Structure 1
Amino acid sequence: MDSLVSGQCLCGAVTFRITGEFERFFLCHCTRCRKDSGSAHSANLFSSTAMITWLSGDANIRTFRLSGSRHVKCFCTICGSALPFSQADDGVLVVPAGSLDGEAGMRPDAHLCFSSRADWDNDLASLDRFDELPA
């Protein structure tokens, strides 16, 4: 049975629904993904069979392809949030995990390009934790 998940950008202008199953979930630490996400890594779900339906805001979707690479970023032109896209060479649907409204339904499978991780991306589980912004 296919699962159904929905998602949207930060401002809510672009909304989508995905029908199908995710096959892989990777955290990529390459320099491109770190710059793209502005964080320690990207967190993307992959599916060769899932289908995406854009529910609203498709006029606000833009795609950036980094010349000379396979790196692609799809985003909302209003708020800049990362959005799903299909890879041109194989049609695999790539979905930023943070763009989903609910749970991804799976744990990440692996860290990719781990040797390229940021120098501050070590032993992060040992840091203090707060449920809200600290006072």
Structure 2
Amino acid sequence: METKTLTGSCLCGSIRYTVHGETQRAFHCHCSRCRKATGTGHASNLFVAGTLTWDAGESLVRHFKVPEAERFTNAFCSECGGRVPRSAAGSGMVMIPMGSLDDDPGIEPQARIFQGSRAAWSCSGHALPGFDAMPG
């Protein structure tokens, strides 16, 4: 795998980060926790074997760990609520919310996971019309 340097930020730009490492996998996750954390039908997450560096705003990063969840933690900006990456302690793995990236990671999601939790209205695979801007 190729080593990459990826940068990104939260919605307001107060938190900026750099991740350096090897992209491992990317998924669209339809679990109920990802849906609740994003307010959307799924979360698009990139997993990188590497390091996470906060370039600005580290003091604004907040974490919410679902008490009964083995792995789920939501990392976000305390100013705008935008999701930001997190590292699992001791794993050497960084999970990046793909929407927070400034760069093209060079990898597309390989699968939709937790499809059994998919909301009936979300990403059914049926073709929808596409628009470059908000339709009139």
2:17 aligned residue: 16
Task: After superposition, give the CA deviation of every residue in 1:88-115 in whole Å (9 maximum; x if it has no partner).
Answer: 3634211101110011210112111111
Aligned residue-pair number: 133
- How large is the Cα RMSD of the aligned pairs? 1.4
2:39 aligned residue: 38
1:88 aligned residue: 89
Task: After superposition, give the CA deviation of every residue in 1:28-83 in whole Å (9 maximum; x if it has no partner).
Answer: 10111111111111111112x31111100011100110001021000000000000
- Distance between the aligned counterparts of 1:54 and 1:89, measured in 2? 18
Structure 2 counterparts to residues 72-83 of structure 1, below 5 A: 72-83=73-84
Structure 2 counterparts to residues 1-135 of structure 1, below 5 A: 2-47=3-48, 49-69=49-69, 70-88=71-89, 90-121=91-122, 122-124=124-126, 126-135=127-136
Contact 2:9 2:15 in 1 (8 A): yes
TM-score (ref. length: structure 1): 0.92
Where structure 2 has 5 or more consecutive residues not aligned to the other structure, the ranges are none
- Distance between the aligned counterparts of 1:89 and 1:21, measured in 2? 17
Give the aligned residue type for 1:75: F
**Structure (1/2) with the larger strand percentage:** 2
Give the aligned residue type for 1:127: L
- Distance between the aligned counterparts of 1:45 and 1:123, measured in 2? 21
Where structure 1 has 5 or more consecutive residues not aligned to the other structure, the ranges are none
TM-score (ref. length: structure 2): 0.91
Aligned to 2:22, what secondary structure does the other structure show?
A: coil
